[in-house]
Amino acid sequence: MTELLAFLMSYETLRFIWWLFLGVLLIGFAIMDGFDLGVGALLPWVARTDDERRVLINAIGPTWEGNQVWFILGGGAIFAAYPLIYSAAFSGFFVALILVLFALILRPVGFDYRSKLPHPQWRSMWDWGLFIGGFVPALVFGVAFGNLLQGVPFYFDDSLRVHYEGGLPGLLNPFGLLAGVVSLSMLVMQGAAFLLLKTVGHLRERAHRALGVAALVFALSFAGAGLWVGFGIDGYVLTAFAGTEAASNPVAKEVVRQTGAWFANFKATPVLWLVPLLAFTGAFGAWWLAARRPGVGFIASSVAVACTILTAGIAMFPFMMPSSLEPAHSLTVWDATSSLLTLRWMFWMTVLFLPLILFYTSWVFSVLRGPVTLEQVSDSHEHY
């Protein structure tokens, strides 16, 4: 037992564990808050009347704030466990993140103010605000991941201060936009799969059609992005570094760029190819099963979401934020973390509180299970 604890508390193991923790938080955000964003993006298209739009809003209204916890936890984990990545990312992606923030601000005010007045123009304005609050973050998050795979234009000076040379136009490159389409279609698919659980009648039929379109776009764009990564983008290879137990120093290593390097981990461990395969299978399963067994369809969609994020993480490991200006300054799992003591304290806090969050979330969705109907929202003034 002592040896196992010593192994778990070693710097190398904790660095890897925190890479896993961050992946879990990103997946949790994409699955839970992802269907909120997807429903927002679908709002003007699936719902055609005011009461139908109220059904969609009330389908996610009681839980969207709780789902935001995953977003906050992800940002907090990066800030505490990966301060170098936090500083570099928030410098490089500042404009994009501000755009996401402004879009997300439209969600709470949209939920709270939409039904305050019965005027059609007033409600239509907030409906489009909720659409923007779902569409923009879903797209921008994918664009950010696309730029990570290409490398971000930053470097460290002699004082280890990060410098970023780029801007929003540079982020909106062809591959970045393709990655944005992957993310957007993936979250729209997740939102449509959730609506099949929460709606009935014509709304459910339209949600299923939207699910089919989103799943097809996701599969095609995900396959296209994979081919582009394999044959059109130079990946990063770590050739020498200070070691997995050494103090974090992002410039104490050697890195080269090679075409197809992002596939190296899959080639070294062929069983990992099952992860992207499950992403395609989950998308197809979501469309095939959702109309018959919506609960299983939602699980299949969630598997697709999780495996898409896992595919990107496995491809880049151990890199987390590659640098296109100075490849040797790229941030990796082994040289971008906080101190050993910080990782240990955060490990035990996560072990304590993450199960509580999972338990509470499961309880909330169990209590709120079942569809939202037109009769419920039209007969009640307590709904949004």
Cα dihedral sign, 42-148-103-368:
positive
Cα-trace Rg, the chain: 22
Sign of CA dihedral 251, 254, 258, 263: negative
- What's the confidence (pLDDT) of residue 380? 67
Distances from the Cα of 204 to the Cα of 200, 211, 255, 372, angstroms = 5, 10, 51, 11
Helix (H) / strand (E) containing 253: strand 253-259
Distance CA 337, CA 300 (A): 33
Q: Which two tokens stand for residue 19?
A: 């890479």
pLDDT at 381: 65
The pLDDT assigned to 93 comes to 81
The whole-number pLDDT of residue 143 equals 93
Distance CA(50)–CA(97), nearest Å, equals 32
Measure the CA–CA gap between 334 and 135, rounded to whole angstroms. Answer: 35
Specify the pLDDT at position 213. Answer: 95
What CA–CA distance (Å, rounded) separates 372 from 286?
21
State the pTM of this model.
0.92
Phi, psi angles (nearest 5°) of residue 251: -110, 5
Position 383 scores a pLDDT of 67
Residue 120, Cβ neighbours under 10 Å: how many? 9
3-state DSSP helix/strand/coil % of the chain, to nearest 5: 75, 5, 20
pLDDT for position 62 = 84
Helices 174-198 and 274-290 cross at an angle (nearest 10°) of 40
Task: Give the DSSP letter of residue 259.
Answer: E
- How far the first Cα of the chain sits from its last, in Å, is 53
Measuring CA to CA, which residue among 126, 116, 100, 127 is closest to residue 33?
100
Q: Residue 176 carries which side chain, given as an amino acid letter?
A: G
Residue 138: its pLDDT value, please?
94
pLDDT mean values, one per 10 residues, the chain (384 residues):
80 93 92 92 90 90 84 87 88 84 90 86 92 94 92 89 79 92 96 93 91 96 94 91 88 91 94 96 92 90 96 95 93 92 92 88 86 78 66
Which residue in this structure is represented by tokens 């570094």? 241
Burial (CB count <10 Å: 0-12, 13-18, 19+), residue 10? middle
CA distance 222 to 228: 10
